Amino acid sequence: MRCGIGYDTHRLVEGRKLILGGIEIAAPRGLLGHSDGDVLTHAIADALLGAAGLGDLGQHFPDTDPRWKDSNSLKFLEVIRNLLSEKGFRILNIDSVVVLDEPKLAPHISRMEGTLAMALGMNPPALSVKAKNTEGAFGDPATVAAAHAVALLAAG
């Protein structure tokens, strides 16, 4: 078995959609990034790549490549799922945390889990998403979102 950890953060800005876990969530600000800025999907991608010893998100989907400009980050997970399969890995479990103060994510967790699990060919109970907030502990909570993820893979 192999374990990997992933982390991502992006600034929240006006004029962008808020995409988390592959779904659009109504909010006054969205995540700034070369792709859709989905910090949760990016953290999960890094955890999976790290567990398999296959580098990180930036190596596979560089922000200098115009193919990935404004890309739906679920595409990254689909590519990674196929890469893991080719290398003989099977995803056993993913656990993740999104850190965002507003909007509240609890009403969206189930849909995020289902969307992410579908992109990875998993059953939702093996993929969990939790939401936390900073309660303003790190400055203006309306300016940033982060996500952490851990992935467990079986080899062979």
- pTM (two decimals): 0.95
Long-range contacts of 126-130 (CB under 8 A, 24+ apart): 126/91, 126/92, 126/93, 126/94, 127/93, 127/94, 127/96, 128/94, 128/95, 128/96, 129/21, 129/40, 129/96, 129/97, 129/98, 130/95, 130/96, 130/97, 130/98
Whether the bond into 103 is cis, omega within 30 of 0: yes
- HSE toward the beta carbon, residue 137, CA cutoff 13 A: 6
Fold of 2-155: 60s Ribosomal Protein L30; Chain: A; (3.30.1330)
Query: Collapsing DSSP states into helix, strand and coil, what is residue 3?
Result: strand
Average pLDDT, the chain: 94
- Give the pLDDT mean for 119-146: 87
- Give the pLDDT mean for 9-19: 96
Please write the tens of the pLDDT for every residue from 51-96: 999 999 999 999 898 888 889 999 999 999 999 999 999 999 999 9
pLDDT of 139 over the 80 cut: no
All structural domains of the chain with their residue ranges: 2-155
**Joined tokens for residue 1:** 């078995």
Greatest alpha-carbon pair distance for the chain in Å reads 46
Please write the tens of the pLDDT for every residue from 87-125: 999 999 999 999 999 999 999 999 999 999 999 999 989
Beta carbons within 10 angstroms of residue 143's beta carbon: 12
